Amino acid sequence: MSAQQTENPSVISQLLRIPVLVAALGYMVDMYDLFLFSVVRVPSLQELGVSGDQLLPEGIILLNWQMAGLLIGGVLWGVLGDKRGRLSVLFGSIVMYSLANIGNGFVNSLEMYAVLRFIAGVGLAGELGAGITLVTEVLPKEIRGYGTTLVATLGVLGAILAYFVADLFQWRVSYFVGGGLGLTLLILRFNVFESGMFQHLKEKAVNRGDILSIFTDPTRLRKYFMAIVVGLPIWFVVGILITFSPEFGAAKGIEGINAGKAVMLAFTGQVFGDIFSGLLSQYLKSRKQVIGLFIVLSVVMMTLYLLLPVSEAFSFYMLCAFLGFCNGYWTLFITIAAELFGTNIRATVATTIPNFVRGATIPFASLFVWLKGSMGVIQAGLVLGIAVAVIALLSLAFIEETFTKDLDYVEE
């Protein structure tokens, strides 16, 4: 009996392996630092002398700098993850974003704030892709969905933690806490071992981390582009509808909406959404079916969020929470991105794809501001949100199902 158990370890014991736990805790700190700016945007800008109508445009500028860092960092860390290993990214990225976030606690000008948000963005870009790649490669294909669900769930809890820390402490202290958590996590990472698939790959004469190979092969490029588009509705909700919830609340006649509370409630909802979508995917043995369901649910909730005539802050916050739940296919989106490509470029695509999705906040914000001028806040959000969701559903229809796909292969 004991020999059989040794040969066939339980699902729980495999999910509690050090690489899985460290990837999950790392993503929790990553999400804390990533969304702390959304939580402290208003008080931090006010202390730096920004007020009134300038809070939105100045906030968008800083958000764009952070997202630009994510775009650049996604490419840098992704290529490094395939050339040097998943662990090099896990170590390097957390050092960079932890130190940058500590620096954010000392800012005294908008220019300094922008530079540090950019550096933090570069660092934050590496954590998720490397973590998901490592988890998908160390777990059996039958249960890797559980592993990525665990990673994403703890990650979203990090965003919730950001709200409570910012609520308890002054915004500068909140940045110090995030940086400190990241540096503390480095201690755990010394016990993490590299993916066996990657170690085996290093023994072969295979070109690793060649991002240009994605763009020179029509089939790979098509898969890559469609994978990015599938994730766009998630970041539209987070980057526009939730981050700028005070402005949407004001447009509905509700003053005093707290962006930090909206972020916290949205990500509380997303925790349950990620868990539910991950378990449903395991039950149905399909990633695509569940992602399609959640995109449709997201469209429904976006419409209710923007058009339902609520007049109380409590009702508005509940809509944020339900919108977050319908946004809960982030786990499946990252997993399917990692599963679509071979081991020699898996870290590259799993790191760049989510960061290109995050970086889409830049054109989303620009389009939103442009449409807002002629349509108003509500209609601009609705038109842009529905358009993004429709394109995502069309792309999903042409992506292969990856639930039982064997990942031990390379892209020729």
Name residue 263's amino acid.
Answer: V
Q: How far apart are CA 259 and CA 39, in angstroms?
A: 6
> How is residue 32 written in tokens?
């804390």
Higher pLDDT, 158 or 306: 306
pLDDT mean over 354-370? 87
Give SS3 for 166.
helix
Q: Whole-angstrom Cα distance, residue 263 to residue 38?
A: 7
Residue pLDDT, tens place only, 242-278: 988 998 999 999 988 988 889 889 988 988 898 899 8
Grade residue 131 by pLDDT with cuts at 50, 70 and 90.
confident
Strand, helix or coil for residue 195: coil
Backbone φ/ψ region at 209: left (φ over 0), alpha (ψ -120 to 50), beta: left
pLDDT in tens, 108-118: 999 999 999 99
Alpha-carbon distances of 6 from 141, 142, 161, rounded to whole Å: 18, 18, 37
Topology of the domain comprising 11-187+216-397: Growth Hormone; Chain: A; (1.20.1250)
For residue 4, the tally of other CB atoms under 10 A from its CB is 7
The residue to which tokens 């939105």 are assigned: 56
150 burial level (CB within 10 Å; 0-12, 13-18, 19+): buried
The pLDDT value given to residue 337:
87
The tokens describing 187, both together, are: 């201690």
DSSP letters spanning 215-276 = HHSHHHHHHHHHHHHHHHHHHHIIIIIITTHHHHHHHTT-----HHHHHHHHHHHHHHHHHH
pTM of the full structure: 0.80
Query: What percent of the chain is predicted at pLDDT more than 70?
Result: 95
Judged against a pLDDT cut of 70, whether residue 282 lies above it is answered with yes
Q: Token digits for 30?
A: 């990553």
- Smallest Cα–Cα separation from 337: which of 225, 233, 239? 225
Report helix, strand or coil for 51: coil
Tokens of 274: 């990620």
